[in-house]
Structure 1
Amino acid sequence: MTTACTKLGLESRLDGVLAPAAVAALAEDFEIHTVGDLLRAYPRRYARNGVPLGDEQAEPGDHITVVATIAKADLIPMRNRKGSFLRLTLQADRQKLEATFFNPQKLRHVLKPGLRMMFSGTVKYFRGTMQLTHPSYVELRATKDGTTVHGSGQLAQMARAQQQSAGTLTEDALARDIIPIYDSTRALQSWEIWSCIRIVLDQLAPIEDPLPREIVEARGMVPLETALRAVHLPSTPADHDTARDRLRFDEALAMQLVLARQRHAEAARTAPAMPPRADGIAAAFDQRLPFTLTDGQASAGQRIAERLARPHPMNVLLQGEVGSGKTLVALRAMLQAIDSGHQCALLAPTEVLATQHYRSLRAMLGDLGDGGELGSSASATRVTLLTGSMTASQRKAALLATVTGDAGIIIGTHALIQDTVEFFDLGLVVIDEQHRFGVEQRDQLRGRGRGGNTPHTLVMTATPIPRTIAMTAFGALDVITLHGLPAGRSPITTSVLALGVSRKWLPRAWQRITEEVEQGRQAYVVCSRIGDDAAAAAKDGPETTPVLDMHEHLSTGPLAGLRVGLLHGRLPTEEKDLTMRQFAAGEIDVLVCTTVIEVGVDVPNATVMVIVDADRFGISQLHQLRGRIGRGRHAGLCILMSEVPEGSPALQRLQAVAGTTNGFELAELDLQARREGDILGVAQSGTRTSLRLLSLLDHAETITAARELAEDIISRDPALADHPGLARMITAATTTSSIDYLDKA
């Protein structure tokens, strides 16, 4: 144990300060190793221990704490059943009251007349007498370190914590109005963590505040040491609220300092300047467009074009609703890069989507995409596809076109990231559905530029992102929102088919598909899993319907007269490709599939989608899937089918999806459910989120203020050489791995 004269700093190890068992449990269960780690294990909530009883009568339902002497202890027989209960008559300083216990066998030997004790419980009245039923209690008598605390319930736990930290038991510690409650495990209960924190606080040296005094005073915040003490030992609710405000700002500032340094470093990098040309492939493409760009597409395209013209890396997140035309905006940016003599890489998460992009871009470009072929336009470029399942000869041809520069646009999956892929002069990287890629994977293509240049980066998402999330979770990315939908998009109606409530409408769902097919249209039926994997089946549970079973059921039952196709991720590439081409050509009426069609698949003739076991999908994923229909001149119908019971949160979530097609509203609902852990991509970074008090959804003002301050500080002191406290705060308030994540995000 640390001696009394030794003072602890935030960097001090807990070894020798706390009992070895506590040190081991804190490290194993919570990854807590230092004093700073422990003090930043903030309470998850606070319990009101109850105010001491005074002259006034307490109201029924009040939680009170009272120090009283046991005047009488009577065993009272039960009236309506066997047994008895213990009734204590208590004499407080100013009032009398009773405490009742219904397990008197052991307590009758512990709770004896004459003892002075502390009781804590909820007030009830019986025949005008104030009563506490089964209150927690502790005996107040002189105790030494190592003796046993006599009591039960929360008060006894607090007494043990007080005894362990201070060596003695005092009324003041137990009469505390506000009790912090911590996350606990089997090895470490909340009161034990509280005890450890009290030990550390008793030996804590004065803390140098990392924030300059003028900032603390300007924001009306308390100093860091005051906040760390008050968050664990508040005397009033205002104490812990004020403490949390300060500590929350520290979290926001630490994160924004990391991002501001990243933006500063990005600004120092060089990228190929790619100004628009009036006589190149981009201008030729625009002249051939059979439609007018939407205002949103034109605005987003102009902002991207301006950034591509600069000699510093563009880092843009292009977000827009499903079907808003993000791919068209990205293609126009790629053509601008090609006009400047550079290559473009388009990274897609699945082979289905990569192949779809390849076909879509070739179709949009027409002969402008026939570069290198006989009779092609002088300004034409070449579009190449590279996926992991290509034959050796196909892969060799694609790699050769990439390294020689013959291909201006290279579309691929994770195969593009491999070290064997060499670019001639990569100037622009486009990443579709960026959340599908790990941080390391997304970062690799940024190092493939020529002559020390960093390629420009454009990432796309159809999952709208609230501003506070975007400016935090995506670091240096400049968020551009593509507003509006192109002409020709039809409305989509969504219905919930709650099979857990009634199954009578199930035949109608399949009949609805038949009716659409009879009118020359097509449909999707989407399932949550494939079905030939026993482990996946066990994980998903027997109630989910695999795509293999659904395909067999529909093709031999309700949809037996229709052409029913099957598509899932484990089919051979050739078979997947053939199926998608047949569906796009109208040769398949109904496509029974998994989520391989979630993004990028464009079949305007598809008007109906049934999502089986829809409760197994996230809100944003349902919105993405729904976006595959209503892409033509006919209205879309999406049916969310689920077996969950009536009134369940899952069914309420589905009804929320059915109630709106506004992606931003749905994104808010989705993020509220998933919270910051998923938002920050911790599954990709391999660590738990370091945000303990800051909510990216709820604390927009704090995040904005922290961002402005961080930008100001980093612009003047990029290395934080003049702000060593802030440099330490970054390390203290965020984990190293999460900083690495943000550096690359």
Structure 2
Amino acid sequence: MPVSALKGVGARLAEKLAARGLGTVQDLWLHLPLRYEDRTRLSRIADLRPGEPAQVEGRVEAVERGFRYRPVLRVAIGDGSRATLVLRFFHFRAAQAAQFRPGVRVRCFGTPRPGQHGLEIVHPSYRILADDEAAPLGQSLDPVYPAVEGVPPAVLRRLIGQALDLLPEPAAMELLPPELPELVGLPGLRQSLLTLHRPAPGEDLAALAAGTHPAQRRLALEELLAHHLSLRRQRLAQQSQPARPLAGPGELAGRLLRQLPFALTGAQRRVFEQVRADLARPVPMLRLVQGDVGSGKTVVAALAATLAVEQGCQVALAAPTELLAEQHLANLRGWLEPLGVRVAWLAGKVTGKARAQVLADVASGAAQVVVGTHALMQEGVAFHDLALVIVDEQHRFGVQQRLALRDKGPAHGLVPHQLVMTATPIPRTLAMTAYADLDVSAIDELPPGRTPVRTVAVSAERRPELVERVRAACREGRQAYWVCTLIEDPEEGAGGARNGGRVEAQAAQRTWEMLSAQLPELRVGLVHGRMRAAEKQATMRAFKDGALDLLVATTVIEVGVDVPNASLMIIENAERLGLAQLHQLRGRVGRGAAASTCVLLYQPPLSAMARQRLETLRTTSDGFVIAEKDLELRGPGELLGTRQTGLAAFRIADLGRDAHLLPQVHALADRLLAQRPDVADRVVARWVGGAVRYAAA
């Protein structure tokens, strides 16, 4: 039923609701409260505790209007409990101020905090009561809903109330058979929704706030199940298409292994065997290989490529930037061309006759391995027989682009195998949920000889010491990075705030100018996201080639080039970045034999979360440990970048909080797909609806 069927919903209101994803009555059922306010009882002013919301009733004892920096209204109320509470208002009208006269009876709700004259509540919700008025208390906790732009909270509450009055009988709502072991002890769907929208006064507020109430667990279980089923369906659809089995003897892979100047780690060997087993099957491989920067994912990709080439097929490797793609090109040419494998290069800067020649070689099959950027996905690029697609840092490509590359493959009715690589370790719980359509492999061991990076956190007040440290490192023939979080000074109140006239976030441009002046003997380069691509590439290449000593950069270098001679990294305003991003940046150093250092330069005082982030980074270099901590601190939506991955945002479930439900979810999904596929379809339709998930892209 559309929301427009509800009383008082016209076209404009329906449009505002739809913009928030609330198009049906069912959507309103699932628009759950953020928190609850308890107006079912009154507290004595003397019993109030800072930070604990409460409802009080008293009489006005004094009123004061003032103007220091802005107009302020203070109202002191008492209830005979030998304590006074101050109500403070900054935004008020003259008529509102006139309501508060000594002796007037007031009931108000809010969160008290320490003030100049005892406890105060800033902008409480309140009612003026007549002396003889019998004002009943609330019968249930008051829900506070996530805001919908342009829709007042009272209107939203009224519409959700109407929607709840239309809830069907329990049996008509249940999709999952209640006797399933995973549901034993949990309330039904109808009861769960009513509990969460209209909790009785006796409900466990602490459990509701923590998201552990049985009603929340019941909804989270069904929502996680719906998303998991959706991804499993995608996978089944993909694997219903045929692919060419690449099950040759592996002679080319053996020759490559013998000529490599290093031995594979145990993790690399294990992951290659998993990839090899996938490629030998007549269904498309869908495998994600994750591992820290420098763990050796490219070698595994090269070995996989030899299995396709040995069968007379082609391989495409796509990277998000020209610099990264060029790095792969150099590695693959160095490893594969001595074996007689032709490696072609296709990027935006390949133009004219050179481009025409590459396109002809790709179309004829003469180019066996094709490395490139987004250019690989453009119209006009036709492969002779593409059997394996390798995508590096796949989250940096748009969904449509990844699909376009996969669609280059269907020759003879066959779909190419897909190998996706990422240097961002993914927490296990996230991998089980967001990538249920992919097999996940982890290269969780760094090659021998990699020196661990020493990580220290330093207050910004010690910046001059770091400038001298950079000077000393470069004098010894080493190179250094200086990473900034903003490109230009923020305006007052925007981007980065001004604190006492001090701009907290140093601008990359200004930092480059200052360091160039302070270190005149050094060659200092600058890279940021607003530079032209060619200019950026040229600077990065100059740094890689040793023509620059110090590179001042924004986080654009997070996925970048391999510069073994860089042994010092300074990250300004490190408290502003997430753990995964800090870990990625740190991975740019420690790639050579020299001892390397990463300095986290922070602006005090640190928030509790920022302190935890920096401490985690200081004490561990294990990307998988860091990923789990990042999930715990930031939550899955921010971590994954849901817009990029296509993972629909959860309404109720929280992957960090509800990870313990995943084994039950997987068991339940197996049972439904095998025994009740019709129920599986209905569960997906209820929770995921028409949201398109390009999971296999």
2:358 counterpart letter in structure 1:
A
Tell me if structure 1 keeps the 8 A contact 2:386–2:416. yes
TM-score, normalized by length of structure 2? 0.82
For residue 741 of structure 1, give the secondary structure of its aligned residue in structure 2.
coil
1:713 counterpart letter in structure 2:
L
Aligned-pair distance for 1:649?
A: 5.6
Partner residue in 2 for 1:146? none
Aligned-pair distance for 1:25?
A: 7.4
2:408 counterpart letter in structure 1:
R
For residue 344 of structure 2, give the secondary structure of its aligned residue in structure 1.
strand
Tell me if structure 2 keeps the 8 A contact 1:513–1:523. yes
Tell me how far apart the structure 2 counterparts of residues 632 and 351 of structure 1 sit (CA, whole Å): 23
Q: Is 1:183 matched up with 2:146?
A: yes
Tell me how far apart the structure 2 counterparts of residues 623 and 552 of structure 1 sit (CA, whole Å): 27
For residue 424 of structure 2, give the secondary structure of its aligned residue in structure 1.
coil
Change (3 A) 1:234 1:284: same
Aligned-pair distance for 1:458?
A: 0.9
Instruction: Write out aligned runs for 1:319-338 (5 A).
Output: 319-338=290-309
Aligned-pair distance for 1:679?
A: 4.4
Tell me how far apart the structure 1 counterparts of residues 663 and 481 of structure 2 sit (CA, whole Å): 43
> Which blocks of at least 5 consecutive residues in structure 2 are unaligned?
65-73, 88-95, 113-120, 498-502
Partner residue in 2 for 1:166? none
Aligned residue among 605, 627, 630 for 1:667: 627
Tell me how far apart the structure 1 counterparts of residues 75 and 315 of structure 2 sit (CA, whole Å): 83
Q: Is 1:31 matched up with 2:21?
A: yes
Partner residue in 2 for 1:484? 445
Aligned residue among 193, 197, 214 for 1:232: 197
Q: Is 1:697 matched up with 2:697?
A: no
- Residue deviations 1:144-182 (CA, integer Å, cap 9, x gap): xxxxxx89xxx8xxxxxxxxxxxxxxx4xx432522221
Partner residue in 2 for 1:456? 417
Instruction: Write out aligned runs for 1:264-663 (5 A).
Output: 264-279=236-251, 281-365=252-336, 367-368=338-339, 380-449=340-409, 450-499=411-460, 502=461, 505-528=462-485, 544-555=505-516, 557-567=517-527, 579-642=539-602, 644-648=603-607, 652=611, 653-663=613-623
Partner residue in 2 for 1:194? 157
- Residue deviations 1:484-525 (CA, integer Å, cap 9, x gap): 1111101211223322xx2xx323323222322333322223
For residue 180 of structure 2, give the secondary structure of its aligned residue in structure 1.
helix
> Which blocks of at least 5 consecutive residues in structure 1 are unaligned?
1-10, 90-95, 124-131, 143-149, 156-170, 369-379
Change (3 A) 1:97 1:63: farther
Tell me if structure 1 keeps the 8 A contact 2:6–2:159. no
Partner residue in 1 for 2:184? 219
Identify the range of structure 1 (196-205 vs 186-195) with the bigger mean alpha-carbon deviation: 186-195
For residue 570 of structure 2, give the secondary structure of its aligned residue in structure 1.
strand
- Residue deviations 1:223-251 (CA, integer Å, cap 9, x gap): 22111211111213259622212111121
For residue 639 of structure 1, give the secondary structure of its aligned residue in structure 2.
strand
Change (3 A) 1:196 1:577: closer
Aligned-pair distance for 1:76?
A: 8.6
Tell me if structure 1 keeps the 8 A contact 2:564–2:592. yes
Change (3 A) 1:140 1:191: farther
TM-score, normalized by length of structure 1? 0.77
Tell me how far apart the structure 1 counterparts of residues 444 and 592 of structure 2 sit (CA, whole Å): 19
Partner residue in 2 for 1:731? 685
Q: Is 1:254 matched up with 2:217?
A: no
Aligned-pair distance for 1:40?
A: 0.8
1:434 counterpart letter in structure 2:
Q
For residue 46 of structure 1, give the secondary structure of its aligned residue in structure 2.
strand
Tell me how far apart the structure 2 counterparts of residues 426 and 360 of structure 1 sit (CA, whole Å): 21
Change (3 A) 1:482 1:230: same
For residue 176 of structure 2, give the secondary structure of its aligned residue in structure 1.
coil
Q: Is 1:741 matched up with 2:697?
A: no
2:156 counterpart letter in structure 1:
I
Tell me how far apart the structure 1 counterparts of residues 524 and 75 of structure 2 sit (CA, whole Å): 72
Aligned-pair distance for 1:593?
A: 3.7
Aligned-pair distance for 1:122?
A: 9.8
Tell me if structure 2 keeps the 8 A contact 1:87–1:101. no
- Residue deviations 1:63-120 (CA, integer Å, cap 9, x gap): 8879x9x9xx897999xxxx9977678xxxxxx99998989963669968xxxx9887
Tell me if structure 2 keeps the 8 A contact 1:550–1:592. yes
2:440 counterpart letter in structure 1:
V
2:5 counterpart letter in structure 1:
D
1:254 counterpart letter in structure 2:
A
Change (3 A) 1:713 1:469: same
Change (3 A) 1:382 1:686: closer
For residue 611 of structure 1, give the secondary structure of its aligned residue in structure 2.
strand
Aligned-pair distance for 1:365?
A: 3.5
Aligned-pair distance for 1:600?
A: 4.9
Tell me how far apart the structure 1 counterparts of residues 111 and 538 of structure 2 sit (CA, whole Å): 70
Change (3 A) 1:122 1:264: closer
Tell me how far apart the structure 2 counterparts of residues 600 and 489 of structure 1 sit (CA, whole Å): 18
Partner residue in 1 for 2:91? none
1:45 counterpart letter in structure 2:
R
How many residues in Structure 1 have an aligned counterpart in Structure 2?
Answer: 654
Tell me how far apart the structure 1 counterparts of residues 29 and 659 of structure 2 sit (CA, whole Å): 25
2:198 counterpart letter in structure 1:
L
Q: Is 1:711 matched up with 2:670?
A: yes
Aligned-pair distance for 1:412?
A: 0.8
1:492 counterpart letter in structure 2:
V
Q: Is 1:106 matched up with 2:99?
A: yes
Aligned-pair distance for 1:197?
A: 2.3
Partner residue in 2 for 1:208? 173
2:585 counterpart letter in structure 1:
L
Aligned-pair distance for 1:190?
A: 3.7
Q: Percent identity, please.
A: 37
Tell me how far apart the structure 1 counterparts of residues 472 and 479 of structure 2 sit (CA, whole Å): 10
Tell me if structure 2 keeps the 8 A contact 1:25–1:187. no
Tell me how far apart the structure 2 counterparts of residues 606 and 21 of structure 1 sit (CA, whole Å): 60
Partner residue in 2 for 1:43? 33
1:304 counterpart letter in structure 2:
V
Change (3 A) 1:77 1:620: closer
Change (3 A) 1:138 1:305: same
Aligned-pair distance for 1:648?
A: 3.8
For residue 495 of structure 1, give the secondary structure of its aligned residue in structure 2.
strand
For residue 184 of structure 1, give the secondary structure of its aligned residue in structure 2.
coil
Instruction: Write out aligned runs for 1:5-84 (5 A).
Output: 11-20=1-10, 23-24=13-14, 27=17, 30-51=20-41
Partner residue in 2 for 1:377? none
Change (3 A) 1:646 1:121: closer
Change (3 A) 1:362 1:581: farther
For residue 214 of structure 1, give the secondary structure of its aligned residue in structure 2.
coil
For residue 464 of structure 1, give the secondary structure of its aligned residue in structure 2.
coil
Tell me how far apart the structure 1 counterparts of residues 40 and 227 of structure 2 sit (CA, whole Å): 38
Tell me if structure 1 keeps the 8 A contact 2:490–2:496. no
Tell me if structure 1 keeps the 8 A contact 2:60–2:102. no
1:741 counterpart letter in structure 2:
R
Tell me if structure 2 keeps the 8 A contact 1:259–1:742. no
1:320 counterpart letter in structure 2:
G
